[in-house]
């Protein structure tokens, strides 16, 4: 096995050990482990949402390129009007 495969095998084994350890902890201490797990998951999701919001808030507005003015602001909502097939 090459180095990359060895690292992959180590990650695989550690992940399985983590699943087993988590199962044992949930069996012996169900309420605190589940509370902590949910708290961590919610914190990660809200942290990601905060990071996206911060990135949007602090980014510079995009400048329009030539030939793009008015794009997406027509009465069709930015979609091109399509004619039925066979009719020109």
The predicted-structure confidence for 71-81, as pLDDT tens digits, reads as follows 555 555 556 66
Q: How would residue 68 be classed by pLDDT, with cut points 50, 70 and 90?
A: low
26 in Cβ contact with 33 (< 8 Å): yes
Query: In the chain, what are the domain boundaries?
Result: 30-58
The predicted-structure confidence for 43-60, as pLDDT tens digits, reads as follows 999 999 999 999 999 998
The predicted-structure confidence for 11-44, as pLDDT tens digits, reads as follows 999 999 999 999 999 999 999 999 999 999 999 9
63 versus 40: the higher-pLDDT residue is: 40
Handedness of CA 32, 36, 39, 42 (dihedral sign): negative
Instruction: Identify the pLDDT of residue 56.
Output: 94
Measured CA distances, 79 to 30, 74, 87 (Å): 52, 8, 19
């Amino acid at each position: 096995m090459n180095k990359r495969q060895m690292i992959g095998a180590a990650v695989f084994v550690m992940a399985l050990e983590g699943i087993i350890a988590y199962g044992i902890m949930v069996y012996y201490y169900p309420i605190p482990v589940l509370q902590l797990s949910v708290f961590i998951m919610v914190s990660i999701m809200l942290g990601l949402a905060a990071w996206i919001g911060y990135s949007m808030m602090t980014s510079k507005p995009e400048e329009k390129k030539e030939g793009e003015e008015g794009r997406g602001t027509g009465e069709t909502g930015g979609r091109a009007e399509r004619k039925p097939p066979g009719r020109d």
